[in-house]
Each structure stands twice: as structure tokens, then as C-alpha cells.
A = this chain, B = another copy of it.
Amino acid sequence: MEFKVNSKELEKLLGKIIPAVPTRTPMPILENFLFEVKDGLLTIYATDLEISLKSALNIVTDENLKMVVPARLLYDIVRSLKDTTIHFKMMANKKINLVTDAGKYTISYLDADEYPEIPSLSADKDINEVTINGVELRHAFERGSFAMSKEEMRPAMMGTLFEFTNDGLRFVTTDGHRLVNMLNKNVKSLTNNQYVVPERAVSVLTKILDEKDVKIYMTKSYMSFKLNDIELITRLIAQKYPDYASVIPLENEYLMKVNTKELHDSIKRMMLFSTSSTRRVKFSIEKTSVEISAEDLDIGASGEEKVTCDYTGDNLEIGFNSAYVNDVLNHISSEEEITFRLHSATKAVIIEPVQKKESLDMMMLLMPVRLNS
């Protein structure tokens, strides 16, 4: 059995699929690609049992076959080649020869029946479907993914909530210290369901999404993202997402408007001075300026700066984890001005762009830390 494929086309295809190949796994079979050749179409699969990627390519062959080949070795060989035709020839003893103008390379393969089954959503009847723009989905992931929890205690918080509502598709991430809540009003869905997508699916999708539309298919256990030329299928986290709405304060009546970059530059400097154990930074907010200060008692260093603001409330001192403020500002840096909605030194703070968008609502929430003064 044999087939021919252009090296650069194959390199492109393998490069898209390889993110699903786990780097460390107790199941060595997952370190392979599944190759399936059927009616002149080469489909390549990879999976880590949580997410699967598949993509296809038309090739020159008269035969059908399935085989399992070492993923990283094959990818390294193919991308080290010039633009040339690779002739795959299956030999005896589970070997494949890859023959080009310049050389001959031999690798081992395994039988396809040793490879785990890749879930297919088309077989499921209870299937929902929506369409979302690829860039909008990527932006939602880019802005929210930092707030997903890394703690295995509460598995649902280790993912991104997709909540379909009458107003649009809502994305929520939180680790209990900060929360990101975005509502994309361009996505219309007839259902009212919640799905929790694991971190690995979010991070791989962030890398491969482009400006094209994405079709999302959902069942109770799986979600599939169909891009132009690649499909990602992910297991969903089978846990109810916490009631995020209950932690969002509704009566934060004090507004502080600041320039995002000015505040961020100041926070980055103050991180140098905040004690490494608490990372605490203090905001002393007055009508027209906020003093940001931090002190590292371990090394005997401290810093204080003033940033211009426009504040509607009573003078307020409030503390934050400087790394968390930095995270929030990193992910809202495309907004020139932001508003902090505050109530007191102990209540959660809401951070929003001053400039509202028609199709996207966004808010971030940050828990304060106690000041010991």
C-alpha cells in the first residue's frame, strides 16, 4: 500500500493536529497520529482523550488504509524536508518507507485498532448547533482564560462556562479571586444551556482560531468546534458551574475612572515593592487622584505613586493582590479608559471599559485583600 503527498502540505496539516498530542502520557499510543486514507482523502487524527483534533487533505492514491505513526518523529522529519513529494510505502515488519528525491527514511507504524476511538458528534441525535465568528471567540478566550482556576478541588472552575441565554452567548471564568464575564450578543441560540469547556480545549483553540466563522456542535458530554479546515472535539467538564451571578455586587455606587495604561504602568512598578507572600498593593482614592503604594518589609523597600482619576465617592483605602490587578489590566489593555465600581474596602470591585460596545458586554470582578492598618 502506498500514497504520495507534498511535504509542505503535509507539514501544514501535521502542524495543526500536533497540539492535541500529549507531551507526557502514561498511554504511549497517544504519542501517535492516526492516519486514515479513504477514497483519495487523507484524514489525520490526534487525541489526548480530553481533546481530539482532525483534519484532512486530498492525496494521490488508489488504496484505502489506516495506520498509527509516531507523531513527533514524523512531524520533525516532514518539516525538515524541502518542498518535495514524499512517497509513503508500507513495508513488511510494520515499517513505512518515506522516499524523496534526496533520501529514504524508515519509521515504524502500529495497527489502527490499537488507537482510541475519536468521538463523533454527528452520530448523536441530541445535538445543538450555533455559529460564532472565529475572532470573537478567540478574543473571549484571550480575555477570560487567565481567570480559570488551577485548583483541582473544584473542577468546574478549571474550565470556561459557555452559557446560552436569550441575550446571547455568555463566557464566564473565575477562580474565586477574580471573575471575567462577557456576553457576546451576536450569537443567537434557541437553547438555554450551560456547558463547561476544559482549559486545554480553550488554549488549543486560542492558537488555531482565525477570522473565519466557527460552527459549534454540542451534546451533553462533548462539544465540537468546526473551523474551516480542522475540527476540535472536546469532552465537557461534567460538573455544574458555580452560581457566578450571586457574587457580582449590584450596588457598587462609587465610580473611579482611570486611564488604563497609566494605572497599569504604576501597578507594574508597585509589584516590585509588594511583599512576595501577600503581593499587596494599596489604592488610596480621592476625588482627582489615586495613590498606589506598596511595601516589602522583607527587603526594606517601598514605593508610592499618584495616578490621575475621576472619582465620585468618599475617600477610600482598599487593598488588592498586585498580581491579580496586573492580570486584569493585562486583559483589558485594549480599552483606553476603565471604570472601577466600588463600595467599600471589603466588597468585590467591578472593572469595566468606559467605552461600551454594542455587541459585547464585558466586566471583570476583583476581590479586595485586607489592609492591616
Contact = CB atoms under 8 A, between A and B. Distances in A.
A320 B335 CA distance: 57
A41 to B, nearest CB: 27
Contact of A304 (B76, B103, B266): B103
Contacts of A299: 70, 73, 107-108
Nearest to A272: B76
Interface residues of A, number: 29
Nearest to A103: B305
Contact of A302 (B76, B80, B105, B268): B105
A300 to B, nearest CB: 4
A80 B273 CA distance: 12
A1 interface: no
A250 interface: no
Nearest to A300: B108
A300 B102 contact: no
Contacts of A107: 299-301
Contacts of A77: 269, 272, 303
Contacts of A80: 265, 268-269, 272
Contacts of A102: 266, 305-306
A240 interface: no
A103 B269 contact: yes
A103 B301 contact: no
A66 to B, nearest CB: 19
A106 interface: yes
A301 B94 CA distance: 11
Nearest to A94: B300
B303 A105 contact: yes
Contacts of A106: 300-303
Count chain B CB atoms within 10 A of each CB in A81, A266, A272, A304 and give the residue with the most.
A272
A70 B108 CA distance: 56
B303 A108 contact: no
A150 to B, nearest CB: 26
Contacts of A305: 102-104
Top 3 A-B pairs, shortest CB-CB distance = A103-B305, A108-B300, A105-B303
Given A70-B301, A95-B300, A105-B302, 4 more contacts: A80-B272, A102-B305, A104-B305, A107-B299
Interface of A: 70, 73, 76-77, 80-82, 95, 102-108, 265-266, 268-269, 272-273, 299-306
11 contacts: A73-B301, A76-B272, A77-B269, A80-B265, A82-B265, A103-B269, A104-B303, A104-B304, A106-B300, A108-B300, A108-B301
